[in-house]
Amino acid sequence: MDVRHRIGPSLKRRRLWLAAALALALAGCLPLPLPGPIAEKEPNGDKPAGESTKREVVLGPAISLAEAGIEVSPPKGWHEAERTKTKIRFTPSENVGYPSILVTAPPDFTGELATSTDEVAELAERIQVAEQMSGDAKLKVNPVQIDGFQGAEYRSKRQVSAGEVNQLVLVTAANGYRYTVELHMLGDALHKYQPELYAVAAALKFFPRPTEDKPAAAPSGDKTGKN
């Protein structure tokens, strides 16, 4: 018996059935498997957007910088790596440079800069203009509100001997002074410690700076900078 003759019709019928099934599927009569959802990425492609800020962060005891008019609470377990009258820096471990969170309060009076909800966009625009004038023409500054913290946020980079440092910078104003809270990381992994940065910023407390005839006041408990 000719084997080719016996299996030929079966193969032909199978091919016809497959062709018909494909035609029905393309016409929408039969379901086709769909790909799974694709997570939205952050602008830098590190991580799905929003996921990096959901982790709860416990803060340690507050530290007052009287000359700067600010009270700062570091992440619990982080070490104080540096402190002056107008800035303080924290790291997760001793004797390491990065990652670090740096809070600065420049001594220069900048005027009565408010940071109410309606004015954070204006503050962000002012900061963007100032930073671009200082040399970073491509810098993009966005308004931001993190719990009680209201201000602006931007990313920047700088080169050090150990490599490229990425910076996520938050800016606000209180009592006429500008304050920054910065996360510094070697490499492109800012999302790993972004929750710590946001927690420190949200817990900031401001109070009037001392003058020759007026000593430093106690922190008012205000976290927004709307003094």
The answer to whether position 126 is within a domain reads: yes
Whether 135 and 197 map to the same domain: the answer is: yes
Name the residue type at position 60: G
Whether 163 and 112 map to the same domain: the answer is: yes
Whether 115 and 194 map to the same domain: the answer is: yes
Give percent above pLDDT 70 in the chain. 63
Q: Which residue has the higher pLDDT, 223 or 69?
A: 69
Give alpha helix (H) positions in 27-91: none
- Inter-residue contact 212 to 86 (CB < 8 Å): no
Give the neighbor-by-neighbor strand order of the sheet with 70-72.
63-65, 70-72, 205-206
Tokens (6 digits) for 129: 């203009």
The answer to whether position 189 is within a domain reads: yes
The answer to whether position 18 is within a domain reads: yes
Whether 4 and 103 map to the same domain: the answer is: no
Q: What is the mean pLDDT of residues 76-86?
A: 95
Domain that holds residue 13: 1-34
Cβ neighbors of 57 (< 8 A, separation 6 or more) are 75, 76, 195, 196, 198, 199
Confidence band, pLDDT 50/70/90 cuts, at residue 188: confident
CA 212/CA 195 separation, integer angstroms: 38
Whether 72 and 144 map to the same domain: the answer is: yes
**Range from 88-92, 138-142, 177-181 that averages highest in pLDDT:** 88-92
Please say if the pLDDT value at position 91 is more than 90. yes
Q: What is the mean pLDDT of residues 80-93?
A: 95
Whether 105 and 187 map to the same domain: the answer is: yes
Report the pLDDT value the prediction gives residue 72, as an integer from 0 to 100. Answer: 97
Q: What is the mean pLDDT of residues 95-108?
A: 90
Please say if the pLDDT value at position 103 is more than 60. yes
The answer to whether position 103 is within a domain reads: yes
Whether 169 and 195 map to the same domain: the answer is: yes
Whether 15 and 108 map to the same domain: the answer is: no
The answer to whether position 125 is within a domain reads: yes
Which range among 2-16, 92-106, 107-121, 133-147 shows the weakest confidence by mean pLDDT?
A: 2-16
Whether 102 and 27 map to the same domain: the answer is: no
Whether 30 and 71 map to the same domain: the answer is: no
Please say if the pLDDT value at position 193 is more than 90. yes
Integer angstrom CA distances of residue 19 from 10, 14, 25, 27, 60? 14, 9, 10, 12, 68
Whether 108 and 185 map to the same domain: the answer is: yes
Please say if the pLDDT value at position 196 is more than 50. yes
CA 227/CA 208 separation, integer angstroms: 9
Report the pLDDT value the prediction gives residue 25, as an integer from 0 to 100. Answer: 45
The answer to whether position 193 is within a domain reads: yes
The answer to whether position 211 is within a domain reads: no
Structural domains counted in the chain: 2
The answer to whether position 195 is within a domain reads: yes
Whether 168 and 139 map to the same domain: the answer is: yes
Tell me: cis bond preceding 61? Omega within 30 of 0 counts: no
Q: What is the pLDDT of residues 50-59, one digit of tens each?
A: 344 568 999 9
Confidence band, pLDDT 50/70/90 cuts, at residue 162: confident
Domain of residue 67, CATH code: 3.40.1000.10
